[in-house]
Amino acid sequence: MSLVDKIKEVENEMAKTQKNKATSYHLGQLKAKLAKLKRDLLMPTSGGGGGGGVGFDVAKTGVARIGFVGFPSVGKSTLMSKLTGTHSEVGAYEFTTLTTVPGVVQYKGAKLQILDLPGIIEGAKDGKGRGRQVIAVARTCSLIFIVLDVLKPMTDKKIIEKELEGFGIRLNKKPPAIIFKKKEKGGISITNTVPLTHITPEEVKAVLSEYKIHNADITFKEDNTIDDLIDVVEANRIYIPCIYVLNKIDQISIEELDLIYKIPNAVPISSHHEWNFDELLETMWKKLALVRIYTKPKGQLPDYEEPVVMTSDKSSVEDFCNNIHKSIMEQFKCAYVWGSSVKHNPQKVGKEHILQDEDVVQIVKKI
């Protein structure tokens, strides 16, 4: 029996099983079994996995990578060529782009790599078409643009979300607040700091027994679900921010546009007429959470032309120095900072100080 058939068999059994106290252990095992089968399908243990292929290994450039995902012919290639000046084959029929096309967009002094991924098709996570290769590249992105045709946004949106979820990509979500530690003996110990309404201790034990884990400490810090627990045990999920780019707004009315603005994380645009690109780029910048730091050589004005751009989770003075050159830290004495991260301008700080957007830094070296 193939993996796809095994997955269908488990899904059918889950659909037939009623959820109650008596079946919670069985359902927990089935969910864990399903997650394991999907992992085996997407990441084969033998050679010839789904990540490579012609045109799919793209060297990472710039401070962040943005992947354009969507069904064929929704305007991804047009949008990318307008943003970056890179030409990706544009056609009014399905499946024009067949390989990953990279481009670079310059915004607020930051170089951002943009990848136009080939049109996704339903069933990509089950190995259909080149969908598996497309989503494998999508996993390496800092941000995903799901480009949708504004005339049918909700149907396509749900299909693409399901495909990406099936590949271990979690959109606009944070990792579950679950602390999971394996141990050598002592059985399963479950603690929770909030009441759990979606998961029972039996289901937790069922999931862990499916993974052959019989000794572990688990702490739930929020009201998590069984899927959250499986994500933590699998430990291969990727959490990526996402923007829904609703293209072709030139074909709808103002009233319809007002409704579309109510969709969370959505930005309506027209790539053909270049409408609303400003909002798209600004939303992209916020989602990427990038920080621009300006250098100031001693006795000179700050260099506002070429900032050092870093991600906000790696924005210490040490990260800033390493971004310029790895050898700087060997001679580092202290730094003077002007900007919103300090109380006084300038303020003397050490290497652990966390910088904020548009701070100015002067590095002092050991004599």
How many Cα atoms are found within 13 Å in the side-chain-facing hemisphere of 189? 11
Q: How many CB atoms lie within 10 A of CB 347?
A: 14
Write down the pLDDT at residue 127: 57
Instruction: Give residue 5's pLDDT band: very low, low, confident or very high (50, 70, 90).
Output: confident
Give per-residue pLDDT as tens, 84-99: 865 444 444 344 444 5
Q: Which CATH class is domain 290-365?
A: alpha beta
The C-alpha atoms of residue 351 and residue 329 are separated, in whole angstroms, by 9
DSSP element (H, E) containing 42? helix 24-42
Say what percent of the chain tops pLDDT 70. Answer: 85
Say whether pLDDT at 42 is over 60.
yes
Taking the model in full, what pTM does it have? Answer: 0.81
What count of other Cβ atoms lies within 10 Å of the Cβ of residue 286? 10
Q: Where in the sequence of the chain do the CATH 3.10.20.30 domains occur?
A: 290-365
CATH class of segment(s) 64-89+99-173+238-286: alpha beta
In sign, the C-alpha dihedral spanning 182, 184, 190, 191 is negative
Q: What is the pLDDT of residues 174-218, one digit of tens each?
A: 999 999 999 999 999 999 999 999 998 888 999 999 999 999 999
Of residues 187, 181, 168, 182, the one with CA closest to residue 227: 168
| pLDDT for res 131 | 58
Per the structure block, which two tokens stand in for 227? 């899927």
List where CATH 3.40.50.300 sits in the chain.
Answer: 64-89+99-173+238-286
pLDDT at residue 43, rounded to an integer: 62
pLDDT value, residue 60: 72
pLDDT bucket at 25, cuts 50 / 70 / 90: confident
Specify the DSSP element, H or E, that contains 85. Answer: none
Confidence of residue 123 (pLDDT cuts 50, 70, 90): low
Percent of the chain with pLDDT over 90: 46
pLDDT the model gives residue 84: 82
